[in-house]
Amino acid sequence: MSDCVFAGPMAQYLEWKSFKERFGAFTDYFEQLDNHMANGFHLLDSEESEITYVNFWTCGKNGDVSTHNHAQDPSLAGPAFAEVHLVLNNGSGAAGMYKTLGPDSDARDVHVMKRGDEHGPFFEHQAGKPVLLDNGAVKYPWHGWQSGNDDKDVQSYDLVAAFEISPDFVLIPTSEVT
């Protein structure tokens, strides 16, 4: 991770912290994992409404970024979003997004993603717009990120840019959209 640095104006705001440092007060899930996240930044429209929040994260070999579905109540600090991930590096070549039946399920449908891939909408959508739950959150299946492994002794990382897009700004081109 020491080789992966941000450079340029205000790069100091994009420092890496381990998932354990960021989320350890809420869960011990990331205790033994070699995962990191940088502070993100907000892209706003001309009226200062958030279009998307962009953040970067890494996952070392044999890691899992946890099974989740984004169904929690949206808040000012954690608004509803439709997310898309752009893979900047696939450390082992075998990592990707997965769908599963729930957090306790061992059955995973992994969609391996190579450098430059984005997975498209994992969230439910209808007529080009995200489907919302009664609480206003975007409706997702259970999903997560599973890093791969290879036969090399050296650690390698998946590097991913996550775009958490406000549902108001999402329009998925489909044959249903008029």
- pLDDT tens column, 28-74: 888 888 999 999 999 999 999 999 999 999 999 988 888 999 999 99
Domain ranges of the chain: 38-169
| Other Cβ atoms closer than 10 A to 135 | 10
Mean pLDDT of 105-121: 93
Mean pLDDT, the chain, integer: 92
The answer to whether the beta carbons of residues 170 and 82 sit under 8 Å apart is yes
Q: What SS3 class is residue 119?
A: coil
Q: What's the pTM? A: 0.91
Assign a CATH topology to domain 38-169: Jelly Rolls (2.60.120)
Q: What SS3 class is residue 168?
A: helix
Q: Using CA atoms of 27, 77, 81, 84 in order, give the dihedral in degrees to the nearest 10.
A: -60
Q: What SS3 class is residue 104?
A: coil
